[in-house]
């Protein structure tokens, strides 16, 4: 039987040129986050199927790659359903595994715990351009800090990382709070139990605009008055911290006052302290899909590219699902693959300055001379240079072109006769 | 339903202190190998089940984590066997995926292709101390170079990496050639078809000694004369390159003469050129388990630690299984987890020299002052320092002890009153 050359559906081989960009970005992110005191950790790629299907993951739970039980646990003949066959699955994000990790290892971690994770996750989405079934996520999370210091540090660190990776791309951070979303809806007369549907419609704002949102709300049966009041409140609200504080006054009767003050304070401190310049504004229409968010939510977009490049928020209730005791938690995730796509589209990026030299050695070189060549290479490597010693191909021109693409700028030919 | 806190059986959470060692080792290996012109690549963690069960992986094929088909492809009611349920699996090594990668992307790669891979692999072994079901492998491979330049570069690069990671641990490289193994057995009167069994017994040499090997060979029904001749040939053979050349003379009638010369030449050149000092010797009893090896094989052991820390060899026939056309290939794999265990047992390792400072901030700090503290942290981070800004816990002494374990050496306390 001939073996299959292509990767499995929706997953991909990463070629050397892209790999260099990925490594560069990984290093920038890691160095920046570590500078902020985030500590790298790792969890297994496989998780208990019970955890993966515990309703923390929303629609992602439909996309799990499930792993067959092994040995005596697997009994095909008596199996009635998938549940009888499967006991694990590939993780669909890094947040759920982090919550498990924290509940398993909390006693050995410094508190508040600032975690950095970079790893693969898997989702069996329909394959399409730019969307793959295995992809990398880069997450930072602060566990055990209920104060807004967590949000401030997360935004500062992510902004610093993005500023270093893409120094030429301006970016915008939009911020909101689930409590404000809720407060605005209550204030306008929507009922508590209809919130989820209202937010799903509101979330379409950037696609269908205010008129579209109004139409869908009316179509879903909400009262004209509520919908008009909602539209006009959204329209009148200012997007800076002053606007947020003013909104806090308006919503006083339906929302704890400190929610708006807290958000305004985060915005002011971040703007005041950040090392990179970027736009930061309050977006009362920002929803973010995951149902586990309980407080602030944020999302970053980059100039000239649709969609978000990073996002996150506060999820104070997830860890309690493991431990029985709620622990404040807040996280930010960089869309690693999105960043790589942007950089590759822009023709790569600065990749460090190690000089790359290729020694091309004609086939059948005599032994003594090959030893000399290799000794010379070792000497140059000791001096910090990247030296490739490679057989010389018949088509030397093509070989040099290929190596040029990988960043080799200097070539030395060694022929059998002993002349360079 | 309460969620599960422990990782799945046989896999593990990696704590911050070990993670720092892993990151350090990863960087050392990557930098060293890149200095030798190896190019990093990545393949998906999931492979076609047909490739994983194609008899390239020996016993590892019994240990595959299998992944359930998805959607319409999965039909529980008509499924007769595992094959009807499964279409993918987690890779058990990085060599088979590399062969697939090369056959899929060859046209876009420089030739000879020098690949570096660092990634997770999965084997459903019985969990036991120091053996896990998910672990990291670090492989370098040279594809398309039939000359001994490949072996020389692989050994030099791996020795350089090990020398940098564990500068205080002497190590030994043992080398052999599958052709020599075969030649010696033929010379002593063993039949071609009994080779596999003879080598399996020979491979036990370090456990049961020469007497044990002789006893097992006799017990397996091999002639007294052959066994005695074999034992005495093994005993008389020298372990340096002179010994190898002499053995080549002895085996002249049953083995191509260049096999011994080639091996002797590799040994001489490596010894001559290496940047690190290490013992390199010919071990005519070295077998290595994988059936895919076709020529030279090598294995590295470290002083004071049983078992090998790295190993590899030439496998000229695997890529042909994908492409229909044989391509010379030779690889070396560092036992990453073994190295980490050794370093952790020795109490960690040098971890870079970025200074680590922790700002501990009392709860309820007023806003203006918190802004000042964060601005100060950003300033120190810009100067290259790692600065953790963290809530101050009630038990400050314990908090500092914990942070000390992660390498924080300097602490600054910020109290609400505004005094440091």
Contact A411, A358 (CB under 8 A): yes
Going by their DSSP bridges, the two strands B356-361 and B329-334 should be labelled as unpaired
**CA A301 to CA A276: how far, in whole Å?**
15
Radius of gyration of chain A (CA): 27
Q: How far is CA A102 from CA A35, A259, B16, B391, in A?
A: 22, 27, 12, 18
**CA A148 to CA A243: how far, in whole Å?**
19
Does B36 sit within 8 Å of A387, measured CB to CB?
A: yes
Chain B interface, mutation test: which of A1, A6, A8, most B Cβ atoms within 10 Å? A8
Going by their DSSP bridges, the two strands A171-177 and A296-302 should be labelled as antiparallel
Q: How far is CA B190 from CA A282, A377, B186, B231, in A?
A: 81, 44, 5, 13
Per the listing, tokens 């085996």 go with: B251
Does A70 sit within 8 Å of B37, measured CB to CB?
A: no
pLDDT tens readout for residues B221-259: 999 999 999 999 999 999 999 999 999 999 999 999 899
Q: Which residues contact A38 (CB under 8 A, 6 or more apart)?
A: A114, A115, A116, A140, A157
Instruction: For residue A16, list chain B residues with Cβ-Cβ distance below 8 A.
Output: 39-41, 109
ipTM of the complex: 0.90
| Residue A186: closest CA among A238, A240, A252 | A252
**CA B332 to CA B339: how far, in whole Å?**
15
Instruction: For residue A120, list chain B residues with Cβ-Cβ distance below 8 A.
Output: 45
Instruction: For residue B3, list chain A residues with Cβ-Cβ distance below 8 A.
Output: 48, 50-51, 54, 100, 103, 321-322
**CA B260 to CA A229: how far, in whole Å?**
89
pLDDT tens readout for residues B331-373: 999 999 999 998 988 876 656 567 899 999 998 888 788 888 8
Chain B interface, mutation test: which of A22, A46, A50, most B Cβ atoms within 10 Å? A46
Does A42 sit within 8 Å of B403, measured CB to CB?
A: no
Instruction: Give me the domains of chain A, ranges plus CATH numbers.
Output: 16-345 (3.30.930.10), 356-414 (no CATH)
State phi, psi for A275 to the nearest 5 degrees.
Answer: -85, -25
Residue of A nearest to B135 (CA): A44
**CA B265 to CA B259: how far, in whole Å?**
10
Range A204-233 average pLDDT: 94
Q: Which two tokens stand for residue B339?
A: 């190295």
In this prediction, residue A139 has a pLDDT band, given cuts at 50, 70 and 90, of very high
Where do runs of H (alpha helix) occur along A44-192? Answer: 49-52, 82-85, 95-105, 149-165, 178-187
Contact B259, B183 (CB under 8 A): yes
Instruction: For residue A85, list chain B residues with Cβ-Cβ distance below 8 A.
Output: 68, 76, 85
Out of B68, B324, B363, the one facing A66 most closely (by C-beta) is B68
Residues pairing with B334 in the sheet:
B138, B310
Does A8 sit within 8 Å of B44, measured CB to CB?
A: yes
Q: How far is B135 from chain A (nearest CA, A)?
A: 9
Range A303-331 average pLDDT: 92
Contact A116, A40 (CB under 8 A): yes
pLDDT tens readout for residues A155-170: 999 999 999 998 888 8
| Residue B5: closest CA among A210, A104, A67, A339 | A104
Weakly modelled stretches of chain B, pLDDT under 50: 419-420
Out of A100, A101, A114, the one facing B388 most closely (by C-beta) is A114
Does B88 sit within 8 Å of A36, measured CB to CB?
A: no
Q: How far is A354 from chain B (nearest CA, A)?
A: 9
Does B66 sit within 8 Å of A67, measured CB to CB?
A: yes
**CA A331 to CA B16: how far, in whole Å?**
18
Q: How far is B402 from chain A (nearest CA, A)?
A: 6
**CA B215 to CA B406: how far, in whole Å?**
53
Q: How far is CA B189 from CA A144, B180, B327, in A?
A: 71, 14, 32
Q: Which two tokens stand for residue A196?
A: 């989820």
pLDDT tens readout for residues A243-290: 999 999 999 999 998 999 999 999 999 998 887 789 999 999 999 977
Does A402 sit within 8 Å of B109, measured CB to CB?
A: yes
């Amino acid at each position: 039987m001939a073996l299959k050359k292509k990767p499995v559906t929706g997953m991909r081989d990463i070629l050397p040129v892209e790999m260099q960009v990925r490594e560069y970005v990984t290093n920038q992110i890691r160095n920046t986050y570590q500078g902020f005191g985030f500590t790298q950790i790792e969890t297994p790629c496989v998780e208990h199927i019970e955890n993966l299907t515990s309703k923390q993951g929303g629609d992602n739970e439909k996309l799990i790659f499930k792993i067959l039980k092994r040995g005596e646990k697997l009994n095909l003949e008596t199996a009635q359903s998938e549940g009888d066959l499967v006991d694990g699955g590939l993780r669909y994000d890094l947040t759920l595994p982090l919550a498990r990790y924290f509940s398993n290892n909390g006693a050995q971690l410094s508190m508040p715990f600032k975690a950095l994770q970079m790893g693969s996750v898997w989702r069996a989405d329909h394959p399409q351009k730019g969307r793959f079934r295995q992809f990398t996520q880069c997450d930072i999370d602060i566990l055990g800090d209920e104060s807004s210091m967590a949000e401030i540090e997360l935004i500062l660190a992510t902004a610093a990382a993005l500023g270093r990776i893409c120094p030429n791309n301006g970016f915008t951070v939009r911020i909101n709070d689930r409590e404000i979303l809720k407060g605005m809806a209550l204030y306008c007369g929507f009922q508590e139990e209809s919130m989820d549907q209202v937010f799903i419609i509101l979330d379409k704002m950037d696609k269908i605009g205010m008129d579209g949102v109004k139409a869908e709300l009316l179509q879903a049966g909400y009262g004209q008055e509520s919908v008009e009041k909602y539209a006009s409140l959204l329209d009148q609200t200012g997007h800076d911290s002053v606007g947020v504080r003013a909104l806090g006054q308006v919503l006083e009767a339906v929302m704890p006052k400190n929610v708006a003050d807290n958000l305004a304070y985060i915005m002011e401190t971040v703007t005041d302290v950040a090392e990179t310049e970027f736009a930061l504004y309050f977006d009362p229409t920002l929803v973010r899909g995951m149902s586990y968010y309980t407080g602030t939510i944020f999302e970053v977009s980059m100039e000239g590219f649709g969609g978000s490049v990073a996002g996150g928020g506060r999820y104070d209730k997830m860890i309690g699902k493991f431990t029985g005791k709620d622990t404040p938690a807040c996280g930010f995730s960089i869309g690693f693959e999105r960043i790589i796509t942007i950089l590759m589209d822009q023709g790569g990026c600065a990749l460090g300055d190690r000089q790359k030299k290729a020694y091309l050695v004609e086939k059948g070189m005599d032994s003594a001379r090959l030893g000399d060549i290799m000794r010379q290479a070792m000497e140059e490597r000791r001096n910090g240079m990247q030296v490739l010693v490679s057989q010389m191909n018949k088509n030397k021109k093509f070989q040099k072109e290929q190596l040029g693409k990988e960043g080799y700028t200097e070539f030395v030919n060694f022929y059998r006769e002993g002349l360079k």
